[in-house]
Amino acid sequence: MQEIRFHGRGGQGAVIASKILAKALFFEDRYAQAFPTFGAERRGAPVAAFVRADDSFINIRSRVITPDFVVVMAARLIESVPVTGGLKSDGIILINSDLPATEFNFAGDDQPQTKPPFQVITINLNRIALEFGLGTEMMPLINAPVLGALAKVSGLVKPESLVRALPDFIPARLEDNEKALYAAYEKAGN
Amino acid sequence: MEKPAILLGSEAVAHGVKLCRPQVISAYPITPQTHIIETLSEMVDSGELKSQYIKVESEMSAIAAVLGSVSAGSRSFTASSSQGLAMMHEILHWYAGARLPLVLVNANRALGGPWNIWSDQSDSFSQRDTGWLQIYCETSQEALDTIIMAYKASEQLMLPIMVMIDGFILSHTMERLMIPTPKMVDDFLPPYKAPYQLDPENPLTFGAGAHPDLFYELKKAYSETMTEALTLIDQCQAEFAQKFNRHYDVIMHCQEGDKDSDTAVICCGAMTGTARVASEMLNENGTSVDLFKLRLLRPFPKTALITALKNKKRVIVLNRACSYGVGGTLSQEIRTALYDLPEHPIVNDVMISLGGKEVFPETIVKIVNDREQLSATEPNWL
């Protein structure tokens, strides 16, 4: 089973992204489960959403605490939310940021020089979203490109399956979202 | 052929309802149930569901509206949650006493105060004594299937049935399920033919009074019908299994322990899924437990429960509803049923969650591992 945790701000599309990912996994004949942290739907508040993927029905219903992949949709959340909590040592954290990955030091306070075991990958998804006219400078809409980037770095799902899942969840500007998804897929992890 | 889909629990409920072709839906929103009636309203709007959709001004009106429509002979549906279900309480009694069929879906949520929107079964457990049948579901598939079975059982028995999904944990979780074809459901569930109905051509008295002796006789008959309902529900589940190839029982043995396992864990609703994972973890570490889920709370399947638990030395009951001053509501039900055994197992009443307090597999593993420390007489709070 693979477990994915999305961290975002209310209104940024973390919950929608988790649903699109689950549907894409479904299209690949896998069992998927997606659910949000419940009750914190205020715009701007930190939210998390969870996806599990497996080859048989998923019974567990508690939130993901030892993810294989963490996605941080707003880099500043790292200051207030323990985003790497439980991240597996061979896991990956994908951060939406214009800074290089080396700028993010998740080492423990007691051992500031220790490099964390998991992999840190950054990508500027805001810029990709804005290139395709998705959202505004204040609130770029990154849920399609974030999934493209995740698909690339995780190998969890094909970008074509994500594109197939988009129409159920993204009501407008589908073509621009598809392009942004592929652009992020091409760019991520390079 | 059934089709696979991936849906929210609330959407799965709406699909189950659509397949049963209710002629009337009364709707009033409340979190976490709102997605159910929203999805149904979209289905009615798009024409894929031909149903009269009545927007009402409160939950009391939601249940009163279907009391009227079913009295007039129409298959109907409504849904609620928490304070909404509590507001229906008065009419829930009346509805059952009127001997009318209905399927109502309740998304289990805590009752305030303090204000809380999260999962908690106190709302429906508080309605145990209204005369409604109650069924608790573990998965979205189970919820969809149960709605289809519930319409059939309800209309054969002329008794209303409440179907429970845990708020958020099931209602807001997207998961894979199979959706039956309309033809499969039509073959299983014939249209509702009311044995008596409001009809100006054939006037009858509805809602009449009953003097003490008649009242007593009617309630005695009601109680006997509830007990007889157990047989009909078994038949209904067996017929469903034959036609849809998914098997349900009033109590289900979800995880088998070793032959000499003397400890059972029992719960109801979506927590069962997490408990399955916990039992696997326990069995891998040499602690063998049997896991049961109770689907049917009313009428209470006493014989099936005794059969399931009679050889156990210990029964750990995981509760998501509390009767304050006594303990877990499910524990009381199970203790009462086991009293008839010459040698009772110890019943550990565990208050594992209220108001959405999260249940991890590790929570259950720890309870079972520390079972010797649990009180056998008092509720065990974590």
pLDDT at B123 over 60: yes
Same domain, B200 and B268: no
Return the beta strands (E) in chain B as ranges.
Answer: 3-8, 24-27, 52-55, 76-80, 102-108, 133-136, 160-166, 174-179, 251-255, 263-267, 289-294, 296-298, 314-319, 322-323, 327-328, 346-351, 380-381
Mean of per-residue pLDDT scores for chain B: 97
Same domain, B138 and B74: yes
Q: What is the pLDDT of residue A44?
A: 80
What residue type is assigned to position A12 of the chain? Q
Which tens digit of pLDDT belongs to each residue from B206-221? 989 999 999 999 999 9
Cross-chain Cβ contact B172/A35 below 8 Å: yes
| A63 touching chain B per CB within 8 A | yes
Residue of B nearest to A31 (CA): B176
Domain boundary among B219, B244, B269: B244
CB-based contact B61:B28 (threshold 8 Å) = yes
Query: Out of A19, A32, A35, whose CB is closest to B176?
Result: A32
pLDDT band at A115 (very low <50, low <70, confident <90, very high): confident
Average the pLDDT over A96-105 and give the result. Answer: 93
Same domain, B39 and B139: yes
CB-based contact B103:B153 (threshold 8 Å) = no
Query: H/E element holding A96?
Result: strand A92-96
pLDDT band at A116 (very low <50, low <70, confident <90, very high): confident
Query: Out of B139, B168, B174, whose CB is closest to A19?
Result: B174
pLDDT band at A110 (very low <50, low <70, confident <90, very high): low
pLDDT band at A45 (very low <50, low <70, confident <90, very high): confident
Q: What is the pLDDT of residue A37?
A: 87
Q: What is the pLDDT of residue A41?
A: 64
Query: H/E element holding A52?
Result: strand A46-54
Instruction: Report how far residue A58's alpha carbon sits from residue A43's, in angstroms, rounded to the nearest whole number.
Output: 30
- Can you give the CATH number for the domain in which B344 is found? 3.40.50.920
Q: What is the DSSP letter of B115?
A: P
Phi, psi of B103, deg, nearest 5: -115, 125
Same domain, B304 and B171: no
ipTM reported for the complex surpasses 0.85: yes
Cross-chain Cβ contact B175/A60 below 8 Å: no
Average the pLDDT over B337-357 and give the result. Answer: 96
Q: What is the pLDDT of residue A40?
A: 57
Query: What residue numbers bound the domain in which A90 lies?
Result: 2-187
Residue of A nearest to B173 (CA): A35
Instruction: Report how far residue A79's alpha carbon sits from residue A64's, in angstroms, rounded to the nearest whole number.
Output: 20
| B173 touching chain A per CB within 8 A | yes
pLDDT at B355 over 70: yes
- Can you give the CATH number for the domain in which B48 is found? 3.40.50.970
What residue type is assigned to position A48 of the chain? A
Counted domains in chain B? 2
Q: What is the CA radius of gyration of chain A?
A: 15
Q: What is the DSSP letter of A30?
A: -
Residue of B nearest to A56 (CA): B176
Q: How far is A51 from chain B (nearest CA, A)?
A: 9
Same domain, B374 and B299: yes
Cross-chain Cβ contact A35/B173 below 8 Å: yes
Query: What residue numbers bound the domain in which B75 lies?
Result: 3-244
How far, CA to CA in Å, does A136 sit from each of A6, B221, B264? 21, 67, 56
Cross-chain Cβ contact B176/A26 below 8 Å: yes
Same domain, B351 and B299: yes
Rounded to 10 deg, the angle between the B212-244 and B140-157 helix axes is: 130
Q: How far is B7 from chain A (nearest CA, A)?
A: 9
Residues of B in contact with A34 (CB under 8 A): 173-175
Q: B69 by DSSP, 3-state: which?
A: helix
Return the beta strands (E) in B94-136 as ranges.
Answer: 102-108, 133-136
Q: What is the DSSP letter of B259?
A: T
Percent of chain B predicted with pLDDT > 70: 100
Domain boundary among B218, B244, B270: B244
Query: H/E element holding A92?
Result: strand A92-96
Q: What is the pLDDT of residue A113?
A: 65
Same domain, B312 and B237: no
Mean of per-residue pLDDT scores for chain A: 93
| A32 touching chain B per CB within 8 A | yes
Average the pLDDT over B138-156 and give the result. Answer: 98
| A142 touching chain B per CB within 8 A | no
Tokens standing for residue A137:
């400078």
- In sequence order, the β-bridge partners of residue B292 are B253, B266
| B169 touching chain A per CB within 8 A | yes
Residues of A in contact with B168 (CB under 8 A): 35, 38-39
Write the DSSP string, B145-213: HHHHHHHHHHHHHT-EEEEEEETTTTTT-EEEEEE--HHHHHHHSPPP--SS---TTS----S----HH
pLDDT band at A106 (very low <50, low <70, confident <90, very high): confident
Counted domains in chain A? 1
Average the pLDDT over B250-260 and give the result. Answer: 93
Average the pLDDT over B259-287 and give the result. Answer: 96
Q: For residue A92, which of A116, A112, A68, A110 has the smallest C-alpha distance?
A: A68
Residues 6 or more apart in contact with residue B378 via CB below 8 angstroms: B327, B349
Residues of A in contact with B33 (CB under 8 A): none
Q: What is the pLDDT of residue B234?
A: 98
CB-based contact A101:A118 (threshold 8 Å) = no
Q: How far is B60 from chain A (nearest CA, A)?
A: 25
Domain boundary among B244, B261, B278: B244
Cross-chain Cβ contact B174/A35 below 8 Å: yes
Cross-chain Cβ contact A32/B274 below 8 Å: no
- Can you give the CATH number for the domain in which A21 is found? 3.40.920.10
Same domain, B281 and B350: yes
Contacts 24+ apart (CB under 8 A), A79-83: A80/A46, A81/A7, A81/A46, A81/A48, A83/A7
Same domain, B196 and B266: no
Q: How far is B172 from chain A (nearest CA, A)?
A: 6
Cross-chain Cβ contact A63/B118 below 8 Å: no
Residues of B in contact with A41 (CB under 8 A): none
Residue of B nearest to A65 (CA): B360
Rounded to 10 deg, the angle between the B82-97 and B212-244 helix axes is: 110
